[in-house]
Amino acid sequence: ALEEERRNLLLEIEAMKQLGHHRNLISLIACCSIGKDICLVMDYCPLGDLRNFLRKDRMHNMQLPYPAHKAAAQIDPSTLLSYARQIVLGMEYLTDKKFVHRDLATRNILLSNEKLLKISDFGLTRDVYLTNMYRPTSSRKLPYKWMPLETIFDQIFTMKSDVWSFGIVLWEIVTLGGCPYPGIPNEDLFKLLKDGYRMEKPENCGNELYQMMLACWHPTPSNRPTFKQLHYDLDKLLEAT
């Protein structure tokens, strides 16, 4: 087990070296893999991960006396849209480099400060340059509630499976760190998704943003938007706020 963990970490280091620098990706500053211990120096993100950051904001506002918590500005909508846009920018860069992240979720997005997000955890990332498709060979646990049908049933990862995951990330952002498919166990979820079930529109979510989520969750991968298209659509939404 320890040897496999070491091998996975070395693969993650290699992926980060190949990716180079982008404002919205965690950068590898230095590493040393000589000897038994592996040492890494990476971007410092003192505010932790986006999921917990959003949840703290939600809990803070719930503790205010009613109706103050209804009027409290939580994190304002334009900031939430900016978060979504930054994630898309990072994923657009990954896609251009022919990498599939495979574990895109708010728990793997870190905050350098309250306005700057960085995508992290490249432990599942793989280069798909030759075929645009990747089939895993290890038995590592997979994040089913962030995965599309073709990944759940056929273990196929593509750039379009990352787009599906981004739709779940959008839902997490809008719900301030909500858990996807609340109350639905994995074994029930698989059949529901196959039968066409999708999460309902959160109560504080605009129609355009929900339509973006549904487009990301299209059952046919080729019919999902590209990150380039999502970038364009989010720019338009931000201009309107």
How confident is the model over 126-145, as a mean pLDDT?
59
Rounded to the nearest 5 percent, the helix, strand and coil shares of the chain are 50, 10, 40
- For residue range 96-130, list pLDDT tens digits in order: 988 889 899 999 999 999 889 999 987 656 655 44
Residue 168 pLDDT greater than 60, yes or no: yes
Of 162, 52, 184, 186, give the one whose Cα is nearest residue 106: 52
pLDDT of amino acid 213: 98
The token pair at 179 is 């858990």
Q: Give me the torsion for CA of 129, 21, 166, 4, rounded to 10°.
A: 70
Residue 76 a catalytic site member: no
Kindly list the distances between the CA atom of residue 33 and the CA atoms of 61, 110, 168, in Å, as whole numbers in the listed order.
45, 24, 35
Give the tens place of pLDDT for each residue, 77-100: 999 999 999 999 999 999 998 888
pLDDT of residue 69: 42
SS3 (DSSP) at 32: strand
The catalytic residue among 49, 103, 162, 233 is: 103
Q: Residues 147-161: what's their mean pLDDT?
A: 92
Query: What is the dihedral angle through the alpha carbons of 42, 141, 54, 91, rounded to the nearest 10 degrees?
Result: 60
CA distance 125 to 145: 18
The three-point CA angle 132-102-197 to 5° equals 100
Which residue segments constitute the domains of the chain, with CATH numbers given? 44-127+141-240 (1.10.510.10)
Element (H, E) at 99: strand 99-100
